[in-house]
C-alpha cells in the first residue's frame, strides 16, 4: 500500500491533475482524483463524463490535465474507454506504439454512472475491457444545480426532490450501483470515500492490477449540494462512513470484504446535522423519515455483514495475496 | 448504369462477382484498412457487420471488432478510437443513426475522421424497415460529409474513397457513405472489387496529428467553451466541411487516374440538351435513367442530375449540370414536415430560384418509384407548375 | 474570478488543448475571508493536508511540508480540519504570515 509520501513523490514527478480548476472550494473530488491518479504506476489516459469534474477542469483554453484526457458526452464514458482500449490494442498490434501497459481511467459522476451512463457502463463491463472506472459520487446532478439522481440518499432535499408543503425530499432508496456492477462478474469492485485516502489508494492498486474491468465508487462530498461548510468536507464524508451509510468494502472476484469497520458507529443524526440537504430531518422533525433512513442503512449493513462473513474463508485462504 | 462501372484500365480490377451493396462495402472497409470497428446491428445494415465479422473470424482482417451495446456507444467508441490514433469505421441506419446523432455532432466538432456506412432506412414512427433518407438527414447539419450511392458498385467505390476524404488534414470529419436500405444493401449485383494492395496503396496509413495515444504528450479533448471560443471553433469546423468539396474532387480524380472510374459530386445524365430534368439522389436514379433512355429514343429531351455529394452541397457542380435547362423537378426522399424538403431547399437556393424548379416527394418509407411515375413527372414538367410539394405516393383511396 | 489575461488562444482542430497552452487561472483570488496558516513546531509531515487539498495548494517536497501555494488556495479549510496535530488553522485573510503561510514566531518552513 503506497504511503502518502510515495503518492506525493509521484505527484511531484508528474502532476497529472493540477491547480487552477474551478471546482468549488472544499470539493471532495479533487483529493479523490489526485489520490487515484497518484496511485497508478505507469502511463495513464483519462476519460471523463459531462459534469462538475469535467467543466471545472477544462474551460478552453485552460486544462488541469497533465495526462491525455477525453470527454465527449454525459452517458458514454465507458464506451469511450472501450474505444480507446481498442485503439490501444490496434496500435500495439501494428507496432505504432510501444508494447507497454497504459491504464485507462474513467472519472464519471454519479449521474453518468447510476443513471444516464448505466448502459454504456454495463456494456463495457460485460465485454471485459481492461480499464478502471471511478465514480466520483456526490449524490446528485450537481453541475446542473443539484437535481436528484439514482445516487441521491433517501430523504435528501434536491431541486427535483424538494422539501415543501407536500414534498419531503427524495422518497426512493439509493440505487445499489455496486451490486449492479458486481453482477457483471468483474474482477474488482470497491466502495471508497474521500475521507479515507489510504483505503482508496490501496483499492486503486488492487483495481489496476486485475486483468479486466474494475470499478470504484468514491463518495465525494459537495459543500454546495449537501449544504455543509467547505471545511467540513472531509468530516462529512468520514461521518457518512462511520454511520455505516457508506461502508468501505471491496468485492474481489465476487467475494465481499469490509476494509473498514466502524468501531463505534456514529449516530445518523450526527451526519445529518452537518448538511442543509437534511435540515428537514434535524432535531425531531420528520422522525418517520429518519427511522426509515436508519432502517435502510441497517438492512444494507446486515446484508453486507452476511456476505462478508460468508466470504471470509475465501479471503483467509488467499491471505497474503490481497494485503 | 452508373459511372461506377470500371472502364480501362480495367485490368486493375478483379473479376466481377455477385455481391450485395452491404457485402461490397464490407469488403471496402476491410481493404481500406479499418483498425477498429464498433458494431451494433440494425436492419438493413446487419449484412455489413455480419460480412465483416466473417472476415474477422476467418482471419482476413486483424481489425478490432467491438460489439458494443448500442449505437450511441458505437459512435462514442468510434470517436475515442479515431482520436486515439486508429482508423475507425462504423455502420448504422434509421433508429440507430437517430440514437447516435448526439455523438455524430460531437464527432464533427471534435474533428474525428470516422467512416460511417449508412443503409438508409426511414425513421419511425410508424416503424418501417424500408428506405428513405430521413435517417441520414438527421446528420445533415452536423458538419459531416455525406455521399449517396446509386448502386452496389458505387457503394464500394465511395467507401474506398471515404477514408482519404475523412482523414485529410484540412477536413478531419466523419464521412457518411449512404446507400439505399434493401435496394442497395440487400440486392445482389455484379460488382468488381479492386485488389487489396491497390486499395491499401490508395488509402494510405492513418496519421492523425496529436492523436491521444501517439502524441507523446498530454492532450485534452472535449473541452467546454464560452461563446467567443465556441464560435471560432465552430467556424473552423464548417470551413472544413466546405473544404471537403475540394478534397472530394481530388480524391475522386485520383481514384479515376488509378482505377478508371470517376464518381463526381454530381452526375449529369443526358443533360446536354435537356429541356426537362430531374434532380435526385440515390438508387432510384437507376430507374430514372432507364426511363430517360426510353423517352430519349422517342425523341423527348429529358435528363437527370444525380447529386452524389450532399454535404458539402455541390453548388457549382449543380449549377453547371443544370445549365440552361428550363424545367427542373427535384425529387426528395426525406420530408421536412411543415416546409419544403431538404434536397429541394438546397437545390432551389443554389439555383437562386431561377427558372421553373418544382418540388416532389417520393419513396417515403420505401414506397417504390415506378417507371410510369417517373414518366408522369416528365409529362407534368411540360405543364404548369404545381404549388408547394407534390407527393409521389399511394392515393388515400389505395 | 480573476483570470490571467491570455494571449489569443491556440485553436487546433476540435479545440484540442495542450497543458502548456494557457496558464492556470489563479484561483487564490477566490479567498476573501480566511486562509490557512501553519505552526511548524506541531507539524509531523503526515501529508494529510497535501493529500486532501482539492486544489493541490499544499506544497511538499520529498515528503516534507513546505507551506501553501496562495496563488491557488481557495481557503476551504479542509487542511486545517484534517490536520491531526492542530498544526494548521484558518486565520483571517489579512493576517501577516511568514513566506509559505507560517505563523509568525513559530519558525517558518522546515529546514532540510
Kindly list the domain boundaries of chain C, sorted by start residue.
42-107
Contact (Cβ atoms closer than 8 angstroms) between residue B240 and residue B112: no
Q: How many domains does chain A have?
A: 1
**Residue B1, pLDDT score:** 45
| Matching residue, cell 449540370 | B321
Contact (Cβ atoms closer than 8 angstroms) between residue B6 and residue B260: yes
Cβ <8 Å between A90 and B225: no
Between chain B and chain C, how many beta carbons pairs sit less than 8 Å apart? 42
Mean pLDDT by 10 residues, chain C (112 residues): 63 94 94 96 97 98 96 98 98 96 84 52
Of A30, A234, A235, the CB nearest to C55: A30
Residue of C80, C94, C96 lying closest to C32 (CA atoms): C94
Instruction: Sort strands A188-193 and A214-219 into parallel, antiparallel or unpaired.
Output: parallel
Cβ <8 Å between B73 and A76: yes
Distance (Å, whole) CA B177 – CA B43: 16
Distance (Å, whole) CA A223 – CA A275: 8
B186-223 tens-digit pLDDT: 999 999 999 999 999 999 999 999 999 999 999 999 99
Kindly report the CATH number assigned to the domain that includes residue A179. Answer: 3.40.50.970
B139-171 tens-digit pLDDT: 999 999 999 999 999 999 999 999 999 999 999
**Residue C1, pLDDT score:** 42
The domain in which residue A305 lies consists of 4-317
Q: Which residues pair with B92 in a beta bridge?
A: B118
Distance (Å, whole) CA B115 – CA B113: 7
**Residue A2, pLDDT score:** 79
**What cell was used for B206?**
492513418
Q: Model confidence at B397, in pLDDT bands (50, 70, 90)?
A: low
Contacts of C11 in chain B (CB under 8 A): 229, 232-233, 236
Dump the DSSP string for B155-185: HHHHHHHHHHHHH-TTT---EEEEEETTTTT
Q: Name subunits touching A (3+ CB pairs < 8 A).
A: B, C
C5-31 tens-digit pLDDT: 556 899 999 999 998 898 899 999 999
Contact (Cβ atoms closer than 8 angstroms) between residue B111 and residue B212: no
Scored b (16 or more CB within 10 A) or e, B310-344 reads bbbbbeebbeebbeebebbbbbbbbbeeeebbbbb
Here the contacts of A299-303 (C-beta below 8 Å, separation 24 or greater) are A300/A176, A300/A247, A301/A244, A301/A247
Contacts of C26 in chain A (CB under 8 A): 20
Cβ <8 Å between C81 and A197: no
Mean pLDDT, rounded, of chain B: 96
Length of chain C: 112
Dump the DSSP string for A93-138: HTTSS-S---EEEEEEESIIIIITTHHHHHHHHHHT-S-EEEEEE-
CA torsion, points B113, B235, A22, C94, in degrees to nearest 10? Answer: 150
**What cell was used for C58?**
499544499
**What cell was used for A109?**
459522476
Contact (Cβ atoms closer than 8 angstroms) between residue A175 and residue A139: no
Q: Where do the DSSP E strands lie in chain C?
A: 34-38, 58-61, 64-68, 88-92
**Residue C110, pLDDT score:** 73
* Interfacial residues of B (vs A; Cβ cutoff 8 Å): 35-36, 38, 62-64, 66-70, 72-74, 76-86, 88, 102-103, 106, 110, 212-215, 218-226, 229
The CATH code of domain B266-392 reads 3.40.50.920
Q: For residue B355, how many other CB atoms are within 10 A of its CB?
A: 12
**Residue C108, pLDDT score:** 76
Q: Name subunits touching C (3+ CB pairs < 8 A).
A: A, B
The percentage of chain A sitting over the pLDDT mark of 70, rounded to a whole number, equals 98
Picking from C35, C52, C82 by the largest number of A CB atoms within 10 A of its own CB, the best residue to mutate is: C52
**Residue C2, pLDDT score:** 45
Cβ <8 Å between B112 and C14: yes
Residue of B316, B329, B245, B319 lying closest to B284 (CA atoms): B329
Asked if B10-259 and B266-392 have one fold, the answer is: yes
| Matching residue, cell 417515403 | B364
Distance, C-alpha B126 to centroid of its chain: 24
Distance (Å, whole) CA C74 – CA B28: 56
Contacts of B66 in chain A (CB under 8 A): 82-83, 86, 127
C111 CA to chain A: closest CA distance, Å? Answer: 18
Distance (Å, whole) CA B304 – CA B4: 16
Q: Which of the following CATH numbers is that of domain C42-107: 3.30.1330.90, 3.30.930.10, 3.30.70.20, 2.60.40.10?
A: 3.30.70.20
Cβ <8 Å between B88 and A87: yes
Q: What is the pTM of this model?
A: 0.96
Chain B residue with the nearest C-alpha to that of C16: B221
Contact (Cβ atoms closer than 8 angstroms) between residue A241 and residue A262: yes
Q: For residue A311, how many other CB atoms are within 10 A of its CB?
A: 17
Contacts of A45 in chain B (CB under 8 A): 212-213
**Residue A323, pLDDT score:** 47
Q: Name subunits touching B (3+ CB pairs < 8 A).
A: A, C
Q: Which residues pair with B311 in a beta bridge?
A: B146
Distance (Å, whole) CA B381 – CA C71: 74
Distance (Å, whole) CA A272 – CA A270: 6
Q: Which DSSP state fits B298? A: T
**What cell was used for A246?**
457508506
A183-238 tens-digit pLDDT: 999 999 999 999 999 999 999 999 999 999 999 999 999 999 999 999 999 999 99
Q: Is residue A323 part of a domain?
A: no
B331-350 tens-digit pLDDT: 999 999 999 999 999 999 99
Cβ <8 Å between B72 and A120: yes
Q: Model confidence at B11, in pLDDT bands (50, 70, 90)?
A: low
Dump the DSSP string for B313-376: --HHHHHHHHTT-SEEEEEESS-BTTB--HHHHHHHHHTTT-SEEEEEEE-GGG----HHHHHH
The percentage of chain B sitting over the pLDDT mark of 70, rounded to a whole number, equals 96
Q: For residue A319, how many other CB atoms are within 10 A of its CB?
A: 8
**What cell was used for B159?**
467507401
Cβ <8 Å between C82 and A4: no
CA separation, residue A129 to residues A85, A205, B123, B231, C27 (Å): 7, 17, 33, 37, 37
- Given phi > 0 = left and psi -120 to 50 = alpha, else beta, which region is A286? left
Q: Is residue A202 part of a domain?
A: yes
The percentage of chain B sitting over the pLDDT mark of 90, rounded to a whole number, equals 95
Distance (Å, whole) CA A300 – CA A160: 25
Cβ <8 Å between C18 and B218: yes
Helix axes B21-31, B196-203, angle to 10 degrees: 60
Contacts of C14 in chain B (CB under 8 A): 83, 109-112, 172, 221, 233, 237
Q: Which of the following CATH numbers is that of domain B10-259: 3.40.80.10, 3.40.50.300, 3.40.190.10, 3.40.50.970?
A: 3.40.50.970
Chain B residue with the nearest C-alpha to that of C20: B218
Between chain A and chain C, how many beta carbons pairs sit less than 8 Å apart? 122
For the ranges B10-14, B30-34, B164-168, B178-182, the lowest mean pLDDT is seen at B10-14
Please tell me if residue C72 touches chain A, with a CB cutoff of 8 Å. yes
**What cell was used for A193?**
470515500
Mean pLDDT, rounded, of chain A: 97
Distance, C-alpha B28 to centroid of its chain: 15
Q: Which residues pair with B177 in a beta bridge?
A: B117, B147
Contact (Cβ atoms closer than 8 angstroms) between residue A135 and residue A215: yes
Of C15, C24, C71, the CB nearest to A62: C24
Distance (Å, whole) CA A131 – CA A81: 7
Q: What is the mean pLDDT of residues B357-385?
A: 97
Task: State the DSSP H helix or E strand holding residue B305, giving kind and residue range, or none if neither.
Answer: strand B302-307
Of A7, A20, A229, the CB nearest to C72: A20
Residue of B232, B306, B301 lying closest to B267 (CA atoms): B306
Q: What is the mean pLDDT of residues A98-125?
A: 97
Is the predicted pLDDT of residue B324 greater than 50, yes or no?
A: yes
Q: Which DSSP state fits A225? A: I
Distance (Å, whole) CA C1 – CA C58: 21
Between chain A and chain B, how many beta carbons pairs sit less than 8 Å apart? 158
Distance (Å, whole) CA B363 – CA B381: 19
Residue B245: exposure state from Cβ atoms within 10 A (0-12, 13-18, ≥19): buried
A48-63 tens-digit pLDDT: 999 999 999 999 999 9
**Residue C105, pLDDT score:** 85
Half-sphere exposure of A81 (CA within 13 A, CB side): 36
Of C10, C48, C54, the CB nearest to A61: C10
CA separation, residue A301 to residues A155, A203, A293 (Å): 18, 20, 12
C37 CA to chain A: closest CA distance, Å? Answer: 14
**Residue C111, pLDDT score:** 58
> Is B251 strand, coil or helix?
helix
CA separation, residue B71 to residues A295, B66, B78, B94 (Å): 41, 12, 10, 11
B24-64 tens-digit pLDDT: 999 999 999 999 999 999 999 999 999 999 999 999 999 99
Contact (Cβ atoms closer than 8 angstroms) between residue A194 and residue A112: no
Q: What is the mean pLDDT of residues B228-254?
A: 97
Q: Is residue A81 part of a domain?
A: yes
A15-30 tens-digit pLDDT: 999 999 999 999 999 9
For residue A189, which phi and psi values (nearest 5 degrees)?
-135, 140
Question: Domain-by-domain residue ranges, chain B?
Answer: 10-259, 266-392
Contact (Cβ atoms closer than 8 angstroms) between residue A199 and residue A247: no
Contacts of B209 in chain C (CB under 8 A): 13
Distance (Å, whole) CA B112 – CA B100: 14
Q: For residue B217, how many other CB atoms are within 10 A of its CB?
A: 11
Amino acid at each position: 500500500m503506497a504511503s502518502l509520501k510515495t503518492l506525493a513523490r509521484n505527484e511531484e514527478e508528474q502532476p497529472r491533475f493540477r491547480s487552477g480548476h474551478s471546482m468549488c472550494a472544499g470539493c471532495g473530488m479533487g483529493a479523490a482524483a489526485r489520490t487515484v491518479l497518484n496511485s497508478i504506476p505507469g502511463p495513464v489516459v483519462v476519460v471523463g463524463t459531462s459534469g462538475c469534474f469535467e467543466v471545472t477542469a477544462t474551460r478552453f483554453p485552460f486544462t488541469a490535465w497533465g495526462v491525455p484526457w477525453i470527454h465527449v458526452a454525459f452517458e458514454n464514458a465507458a464506451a469511450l474507454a472501450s474505444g480507446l482500449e481498442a485503439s490501444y490494442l490496434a496500435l500495439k498490434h501494428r507496432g505504432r506504439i510501444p508494447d507497454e501497459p497504459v491504464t485507462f481511467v474513467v472519472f464519471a459522476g454519479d449521474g453518468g454512472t447510476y443513471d444516464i451512463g448505466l448502459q454504456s457502463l454495463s456494456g463495457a463491463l460485460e465485454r471485459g475491457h481492461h480499464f478502471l472506472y471511478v465514480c466520483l459520487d456526490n449524490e446528485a446532478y450537481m453541475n446542473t444545480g443539484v437535481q436528484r439522481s439514482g445516487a441521491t440518499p433517501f430523504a435528501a432535499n434536491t431541486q427535483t426532490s424538494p422539501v415543501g408543503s407536500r414534498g419531503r425530499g427524495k422518497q426512493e432508496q439509493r440505487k445499489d450501483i455496486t451490486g449492479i456492477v458486481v453482477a457483471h462478474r468483474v474482477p474488482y469492485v470497491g466502495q471508497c470515500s474521500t475521507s479515507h485516502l489510504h483505503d482508496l489508494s490501496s483499492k486503486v492498486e488492487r483495481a489496476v492490477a486485475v486483468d479486466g474491468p474494475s470499478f470504484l465508487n468514491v463518495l465525494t462530498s459537495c459543500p454546495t449540494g449537501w449544504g455543509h461548510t467547505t471545511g467540513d468536507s472531509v468530516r462529512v464524508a468520514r461521518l457518512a462512513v462511520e454511520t455505516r451509510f457508506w461502508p468501505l468494502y471491496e468485492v474481489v472476484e465476487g467475494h465481499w470484504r469490509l476494509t473498514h469497520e466502524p468501531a463505534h458507529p456514529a449516530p445518523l443524526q450526527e451526519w445529518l446535522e452537518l448538511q442543509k440537504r437534511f435540515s428537514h430531518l434535524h432535531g425531531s422533525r420528520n422522525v418517520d423519515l429518519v427511522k426509515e433512513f436508519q432502517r435502510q442503512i441497517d438492512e444494507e449493513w446486515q446484508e453486507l455483514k452476511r456476505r462478508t462473513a460468508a466470504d471470509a474463508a475465501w479471503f483467509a485462504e488467499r491471505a497474503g495475496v490481497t494485503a | 448504369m452508373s459511372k461506377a462501372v470500371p472502364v480501362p484500365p480495367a485490368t486493375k480490377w478483379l473479376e466481377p462477382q455477385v455481391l450485395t451493396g452491404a457485402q461490397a462495402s464490407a469488403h471496402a472497409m476491410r481493404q481500406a484498412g479499418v483498425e477498429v470497428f464498433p458494431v451494433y446491428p440494425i436492419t438493413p445494415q446487419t449484412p455489413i457487420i455480419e460480412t465483416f465479422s466473417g472476415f474477422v473470424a476467418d482471419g482476413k482482417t486483424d481489425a478490432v471488432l467491438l460489439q458494443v451495446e448500442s449505437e450511441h456507444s458505437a459512435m462514442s467508441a468510434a470517436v475515442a478510437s479515431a482520436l486515439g490514433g486508429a482508423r475507425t469505421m462504423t455502420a448504422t441506419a434509421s433508429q440507430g443513426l437517430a440514437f447516435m446523432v448526439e455523438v455524430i455532432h460531437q464527432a464533427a466538432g471534435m474533428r474525428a475522421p470516422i467512416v460511417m456506412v449508412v443503409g438508409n432506412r426511414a425513421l419511425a414512427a410508424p416503424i418501417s424497415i424500408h428506405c428513405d433518407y430521413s435517417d441520414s438527414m438527421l446528420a445533415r447539419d452536423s458538419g459531416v460529409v455525406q455521399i449517396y450511392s446509386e448502386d452496389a458498385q458505387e457503394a464500394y467505390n465511395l467507401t474506398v474513397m471515404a477514408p482519404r476524404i475523412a482523414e485529410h488534414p484540412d477536413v478531419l470529419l466523419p464521412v457518411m457513405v449512404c446507400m439505399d436500405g434493401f435496394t442497395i444493401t440487400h440486392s445482389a449485383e455484379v460488382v468488381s472489387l479492386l485488389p487489396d494492395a491497390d486499395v491499401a496503396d490508395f488509402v494510405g496509413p492513418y496519421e492523425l496529428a496529436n492523436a491521444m495515444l501517439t502524441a507523446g504528450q498530454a492532450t485534452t479533448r472535449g473541452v467546454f467553451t464560452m461563446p467567443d471560443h465556441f464560435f471560432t471553433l465552430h467556424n473552423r469546423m464548417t470551413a472544413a466541411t466546405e473544404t471537403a468539396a475540394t478534397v472530394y474532387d481530388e480524391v475522386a480524380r485520383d481514384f479515376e487516374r488509378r482505377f478508371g472510374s470517376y464518381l463526381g459530386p454530381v452526375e449529369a445524365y443526358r443533360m446536354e440538351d435537356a429541356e426537362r430534368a430531374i434532380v435526385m439522389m440515390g438508387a432510384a436514379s437507376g430507374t430514372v435513367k432507364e426511363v430517360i433512355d426510353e423517352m430519349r429514343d422517342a425523341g423527348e429531351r429529358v435528363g437527370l442530375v444525380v447529386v452524389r455529394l450532399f454535404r458539402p452541397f455541390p453548388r457549382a457542380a449543380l449549377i453547371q449540370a443544370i445549365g440552361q435547362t428550363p424545367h427542373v423537378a427535384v425529387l426528395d426522399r426525406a420530408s421536412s414536415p411543415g416546409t419544403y424538403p431538404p434536397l429541394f431547399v438546397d437545390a432551389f437556393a443554389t439555383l437562386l430560384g431561377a427558372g421553373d424548379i418544382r418540388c416532389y416527394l417520393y419513396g417515403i418509407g420505401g414506397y417504390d418509384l415506378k417507371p410510369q411515375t417517373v414518366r408522369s413527372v416528365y409529362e407534368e414538367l411540360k405543364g404548369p407548375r404545381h404549388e408547394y410539394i407534390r407527393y409521389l405516393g399511394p392515393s388515400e383511396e389505395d | 474570478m480573476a483570470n490571467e489575461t491570455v494571449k489569443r488562444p491556440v485553436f487546433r482542430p476540435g479545440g484540442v488543448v495542450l497543458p502548456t497552452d494557457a496558464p492556470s487561472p489563479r484561483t487564490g483570488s477566490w479567498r476573501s475571508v480566511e486562509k490557512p496558516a501553519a505552526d511548524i513546531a506541531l507539524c509531523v509531515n503526515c501529508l494529510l493536508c497535501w493529500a486532501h487539498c482539492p486544489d493541490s495548494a499544499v506544497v511538499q517536497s520529498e515528503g516534507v511540508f513546505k507551506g501553501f501555494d496562495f496563488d491557488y488556495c481557495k481557503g476551504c479549510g479542509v487542511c486545517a480540519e484534517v490536520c491531526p496535530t492542530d498544526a494548521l488553522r484558518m486565520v483571517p485573510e489579512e493576517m501577516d504570515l511568514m513566506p509559505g503561510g507560517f505563523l509568525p514566531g513559530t519558525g517558518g518552513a522546515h529546514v532540510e
